[in-house]
Structure 1
Amino acid sequence: MGKIKSVNPFSEQLLKEFESYSEDKLNEVLTLSEKAFKIWKEYSFEKRSSLFNKMARKLRDKKGFLSTLMTSEMGKPIKEAEAEVEKCAWVCEYYAENAEFFLKDDLIISDASESYVEYDPLGCILAIMPWNFPFWQVFRFAAPTIMAGNTGILKHASNVPQCSLAIQDLFEETGFPKGVFQSVLISGEETDRLIAHKTIKAVTLTGSEQAGVKVAASAGANLKKTVLELGGSDPFIVLKDANIDDAASWAVKARMVNNGQSCIAAKRFIVVDSVKNQFVQSMAKAVSALKLGDPLSPEIQVGPLARKDLAESLFDQVEKSISLGASVAVGGTPPVGAMFFPTILENVKPGMPAFDEELFGPVAAIISVPNEQEAIDLANQSKYGLGASIWTRDFEKGKVLARQIESGSVFINGMVKSDPRLPFGGVKLSGYGRELAAFGIREFVNIKSVWVK
């Protein structure tokens, strides 16, 4: 067994370390999950809803502790961590209110006296989650999946073990039956064994394209369903009739959120030539004014990346893009530890890492185009298809162009975000399946036809 370490990315201080779970302990978790499922699936929606509403209150009561824990382990600005806790409370309340309606029997007219579709829970669902939104990613899986009557096991990213254990504690403190939600501390290499176990009925992963390939292969070998939410290189399209200063202001938020470490952060800024200079100047001014430093300080807007090696890899992508012809408008300096200075690259073109790859940090790539059709073509010239945004004063044109974008969501005059009321997920190498809304809660149920005569 190895050690799993919690390290503050800003101070580089070791916060805590844990022993990886032994095979015996892992088997105990799986056995408990099976027992809990037999109890939990019999709970009425009313009883489940009551517990999730209580969970929402507990999240808000413990917001100070939870947000500090999050920021200390992975470096997001404390204000954003507080907002993340609030969003977790919201998704709990959303499914507490709507789950029964989403999963009610659907009556179908057929040759039967009566026929309908019912939605039955599957059992234990494994969630493999990333470090960038260590609470939200988990709760957007857990709230619908557990409200549907399933149990959950969380294999969280290895650099946020305290967040992982804190989420299990929240479920137990709220009064959920023991074993309904459990966290396991294991390495990524041990995940295959967990996926193969008979207790696990399906798997959901939020993470990188490479992780998605491995998990899908492992789950496929065991004939288990997967939902994959993977990387993104979201286009942020600015047309000549947009409110340029407003678009630039939102561009900074859309790129720098969570220190730039978001799969749905805007990454490729595709701007029509005639307004490009104004847009870049406005964006550069706002980026240069951002406050960097210790993310536990309330005034700080950009903290460190989650790990030093991530900052080094991102800088390598920036340097390679510059060597291929990109130019620096802001930043471009080497990281200090895990601190990466917000950067804007201009003259970015296909063939550069800044265009072709996901830049997981505070680096904006500016791509200049002569017209809106070229903008759409370049937006779609990506292996990813998670989200996109279009900025224009002509809403009808925006809706026409949105139909041409190859992505799981398109936001017109707004930054891409997840919302419990809207389905969330991607196409192409951004994954498959959907989280949130009615679509998300129906991913991990048995859609059963019942025919009566």
Structure 2
Amino acid sequence: MQFGSLGASDRFVSSNTEALAAMYTVTDPATGELIEQIENSTDQEVRDAIARVHRGYLSWRERPVAERAEIVARAGELFAERSDELAAIMTLEMGKRINEGRGEVGIVVDIFSYYAEHGPSLIADEPLKIRGGDAVIRKEPIGALLGVMPWNFPMYQVARFVAPNLVLGNTILLKHASICPRSAVAIEQVLRDAGVPEDAYVNVFASSRQVPSILADPRIVGVSLTGSEQAGISVAAEAGRNLKRCVLELGGSDPLIVLDTDDLDATVEAVATARLRNCGQSCNAPKRIIVVGDLYDPFVEKLTARVASFYLPGDPSDPSTKLPPLASVSAADEVFEQVETAVRQGAVLRTGGRRVEGPGAYLSATVLTDVTPEMDAYRDEIFGPVFLLFPAASDEEAISIANDSPFGLGASVFGTDPARMRAVADRIESGMVYFNKSGGSQADLPFGGIKRSGMGRELGPLGIEEFMNKKSIRL
């Protein structure tokens, strides 16, 4: 069984040889240079890691919640202190712009701080008045959990899974993406230095083939995966077969609806910036831009000019760079192929659509219009710097286009009339909707989707409840 696809863990790892396939590999996507290889954990090492996190759970759950929260708070402080170092690791491993890397670490700090501050109250006993007496809902941890993490946000994705569960009292076995071993080691070191016991958080360089056996072990009680739709199907099947709880944050093809605007240039800038954040490699980036009425033609003209003139490839470690490489050559090749297929099927290429010559994983930012339901691009997630633009004659048509997708992660509505925006948002099929901004992430706001975008929620007050035993006690 294979796990991994767009945004998952292994699909874009170079696999030209069997040796590479058996390795965690650091390859600089800006230059194509092979930096480091780490052998996968053996089956025995994986079994030992499972034993450790189970043993760690038996003691970690007994620590007072205030003490667990204090350690999580200290982890947030250490992430902040090591921001430059951690950002540089992400830049090397998956090509993230250095300033975006620092921004990602900033979100990590917010997440650890949020759960350190609010976690104890979120898991406090909840009194319940019942017929004939009183009861209490006691909120308890459930055990050792497996995390299967992606490469596109190597620090943030781990933080939103780990921080709430450590406060709750669960322990973590973490399998990171096979192109991010240095991120995996750095995260484990931060947590260790913060005071998380060695057996409460364990990084393991497991291969995809070892995931089913991990989930079959009764000492692992749940799994959280962030990745592709196919990765989610595979992990959910194993979790279901073994009666394990699972949280899945999968792909997305988020719609962004522009109803109207009193500042077209500012709206175009907001859309361009949102789509090209992380070089377009975000599950909840606005991938389908739907523009209502006569605004469509001027919007296409301005956005095309903006993308063509501004987003030029550069060194991701240089703060002035606007367009970094994708995470790997394989990633760039796949997105390029999706664009070529769309054009061959009849889409209009307004700008971009080129693989940049040289050894790196660069793809020029791309604008496509005239994409119809018969084309692959209409349904597929394009995980790179590609805009799909759609005209809509009315709000009703815009909603129809937005919902005509197998995905339902996030959505955005831009406009000037709050009532109109709310009426549109209420009818969009997604787990999240944002007004006059694209979907982002913040520690106190639940994050997750519906349909093929997954199940469960992370972050905010809901994020600490997914792997919780809500025990009813009749007093």
TM-score over 0.5 (shorter chain):
yes
- Tell me which residue corresponds to 2:348: 327
- Tell me which residue corresponds to 1:290: 311
Q: 1:306 aligns with which of 321, 327, 340?
A: 327
Q: 2:315 is aligned with what amino acid?
A: D
1:16-165 aligned within 5 A = 16-165=36-185
- Tell me which residue corresponds to 1:361: 384
How far the C-alpha of 1:291 sits from its partner, in A, is 3.6
Aligned pair 1:278/2:298, yes or no?
yes
Q: C-alpha offsets along residues 374-425 of structure 1, whole Å, 9 cap, x if unaligned?
A: 0000000000000000111001110111110000111111111111111110
- Tell me which residue corresponds to 2:445: 422
Q: C-alpha offsets along residues 328-368 of structure 1, whole Å, 9 cap, x if unaligned?
A: 11112234441011001111222223221100000000111
Identity %: 37
Q: Is the 8 A contact 1:291 1:299 kept in 2?
A: no
Q: 1:321 is aligned with what amino acid?
A: A
Q: 1:193 is aligned with what amino acid?
A: S
1:361-440 aligned within 5 A = 361-440=384-463
Aligned pair 1:215/2:235, yes or no?
yes
Q: Is the 8 A contact 1:229 1:430 kept in 2?
A: yes
2:121, 2:411 → 1: CA distance? 30
How far the C-alpha of 1:437 sits from its partner, in A, is 0.8
Q: Is the 8 A contact 2:54 2:220 kept in 1?
A: no
Q: C-alpha offsets along residues 144-167 of structure 1, whole Å, 9 cap, x if unaligned?
A: 111110001111111111111111
2:141, 2:76 → 1: CA distance? 23
Q: 2:61 is aligned with what amino acid?
A: K
- Tell me which residue corresponds to 1:197: 217
- Tell me which residue corresponds to 2:375: 352
**Structure 1, unaligned runs of 5 or more:** none
1:278, 1:301 → 2: CA distance? 24
Q: 2:54 is aligned with what amino acid?
A: E
Q: 1:178 is aligned with what amino acid?
A: E
* Number of residues of Structure 1 aligned to a counterpart in Structure 2: 452
Q: Is the 8 A contact 2:255 2:286 kept in 1?
A: yes
Q: 1:363 is aligned with what amino acid?
A: V
How far the C-alpha of 1:316 sits from its partner, in A, is 1.2
Q: 1:299 is aligned with what amino acid?
A: S
1:411, 1:121 → 2: CA distance? 32
Aligned pair 1:441/2:461, yes or no?
no
- Tell me which residue corresponds to 1:239: 259
Q: 2:378 is aligned with what amino acid?
A: F
Which moved further from structure 2: 400-409 or 342-351?
A: 342-351
Aligned pair 1:450/2:473, yes or no?
yes
Q: 2:320 is aligned with what amino acid?
A: E
Q: Is the 8 A contact 1:434 1:440 kept in 2?
A: yes
Q: 2:137 is aligned with what amino acid?
A: V
How far the C-alpha of 1:240 sits from its partner, in A, is 3.3
Q: TM-score, normalised by structure 2?
A: 0.93
SS of alignment partner, residue 411 of structure 2: strand
- Compared CA separation, residues 112 and 126, structure 1 to 2 (3 A): farther
- Compared CA separation, residues 282 and 205, structure 1 to 2 (3 A): same
2:131, 2:388 → 1: CA distance? 58
Q: Is the 8 A contact 2:312 2:364 kept in 1?
A: no
How far the C-alpha of 1:241 sits from its partner, in A, is 4.5
Q: Is the 8 A contact 2:229 2:453 kept in 1?
A: yes
**Structure 2, unaligned runs of 5 or more:** 1-18
Q: Is the 8 A contact 1:130 1:207 kept in 2?
A: yes
How far the C-alpha of 1:112 sits from its partner, in A, is 4.8
Q: 2:427 is aligned with what amino acid?
A: Q
Q: Is the 8 A contact 2:24 2:180 kept in 1?
A: no
1:381, 1:235 → 2: CA distance? 10
Aligned pair 1:342/2:365, yes or no?
yes
How far the C-alpha of 1:282 sits from its partner, in A, is 2.1
1:82, 1:104 → 2: CA distance? 34
Q: C-alpha offsets along residues 264-308 of structure 1, whole Å, 9 cap, x if unaligned?
A: 011001112401122122222322212421101111121111111
1:357, 1:31 → 2: CA distance? 40
SS of alignment partner, residue 129 of structure 2: coil
1:230-269 aligned within 5 A = 230-241=250-261, 243-269=263-289
1:235, 1:247 → 2: CA distance? 15
- Tell me which residue corresponds to 1:15: 35
SS of alignment partner, residue 425 of structure 1: coil
2:329, 2:101 → 1: CA distance? 20
